[in-house]
Amino acid sequence: MLPPRRLIVCTDAKNEADDQFAVVHALLTETLDVRGIVPSHFGRPGSMAASRAEVRLLLELLHRDVVVADGAPHALPDISTPAPSPGSRLIVAEARADLGRLYIAVLGPLTDVASALLEEPSLRERDVVVVWVGGPPYEGVAAYAPEFNLSNDVAAANVVLQSGLEVWQIPMPVYTMVGVGHAELEARLRGTGPVGDYLVDQLVAFNATVEYGPMDFRSLGDSPAIGAVMNPAGGRWTDRPAPTFTAEGTLAPGARGRTVRVCEAFDTRWLIEDMFAKVRSAGRHHAG
């Protein structure tokens, strides 16, 4: 039997309401060995600290003890200057450990992975796969730029995609297709336990704050990153030349020979059903 896949999760957990589902799914999956969680900024002062508080709340609800290593509180100043943090140091340490492949699921900006690469360039030679939720479509870009996760650190995205590390990208057209509605959440997760109730409550509460509502649905857009580590065959992938991104978040040619593995579609039925089943099971275990 193969060992669990080593995983670090970088998450801007308090940005919206979908990171929480992805983090919980990872922690409830026995085939994943979550070596640490790196709270990320999301472009505003104090945002990394808010993400840290949300991660710790989720761990408390799940009764889990996992390393939480703060990420950088802001974006990289440029493509040559790192933003060192406990999170980037954790990435370096785990990547250098002789324990097999390391997956890094990035649910927000690529700041902490990029900083780790700038601090320790030899990481390019390690067996690391970065699974990033972010970036605009590869066609029809202008109408969708800037994509949010990219816009919070364009320099970091350019560092990582041009680094030579193996990158699996889940861009906007895919991550927006993991939709769930309030009615489904109420029917499937409400009353299953503290974790299920919190996931529902915080999503409904967040939707009540959006300026483009009213709305009773949300895309759990960060979850495909966890699903891709669990089940790479659940996605349809295309190798593309790795782009660079302009300051405006549009695509530009990258270095010749660099590629990125781009997700074109993902098995959302399996992904959501597996997540719901594990949350419900955790609720039964808590009740018992």
Average pLDDT over residues 261-274: 98
Average pLDDT over residues 42-57: 97
Tell me what pLDDT residue 135 has.
95
Q: Per-residue confidence at 256, pLDDT binned at 50, 70, 90?
A: confident
Average pLDDT over residues 263-287: 93
Q: Is 253 helix (H, G, I), strand (E, B) or coil?
A: coil
Q: Which two tokens stand for residue 104?
A: 């890094």
Cβ(162)–Cβ(134) below 8 Å: no
Q: Per-residue confidence at 41, pLDDT binned at 50, 70, 90?
A: very high
Using one digit for the tens of pLDDT, what is the confidence trace for 125-184? 999 999 999 999 988 655 556 899 999 999 999 999 999 999 999 999 999 999 999 999
Using one digit for the tens of pLDDT, what is the confidence trace for 191-214? 999 999 999 999 999 999 998 888
pLDDT at 280 over 80: yes
Tell me what pLDDT residue 288 has.
59
Whole-angstrom distance, CA of residue 59 vs CA of residue 57: 5
288 versus 194: the higher-pLDDT residue is 194
DSSP state of 232: G
Using one digit for the tens of pLDDT, what is the confidence trace for 81-136? 999 999 999 999 999 998 999 999 999 999 999 999 999 999 999 999 999 999 99
Residue ranges and CATH numbers for the domains of the chain are 5-287 (3.90.245.10)
Strand partners, 169: 132, 262
pLDDT at 235 over 90: yes
- Determine the residue type at 197: D
Whole-angstrom distance, CA of residue 258 vs CA of residue 215: 40
Cβ(179)–Cβ(219) below 8 Å: yes
Whole-angstrom distance, CA of residue 86 vs CA of residue 116: 10
Using one digit for the tens of pLDDT, what is the confidence trace for 8-22? 999 999 999 999 999
Whole-angstrom distance, CA of residue 106 vs CA of residue 129: 11
Average pLDDT over residues 28-44: 97
pTM greater than the 0.95 cutoff: yes
pLDDT at 255 over 90: no
Q: Is the dihedral of CA 106, 107, 110, 115 positive or negative?
A: negative
Integer-rounded Cα radius of gyration of the chain:
18
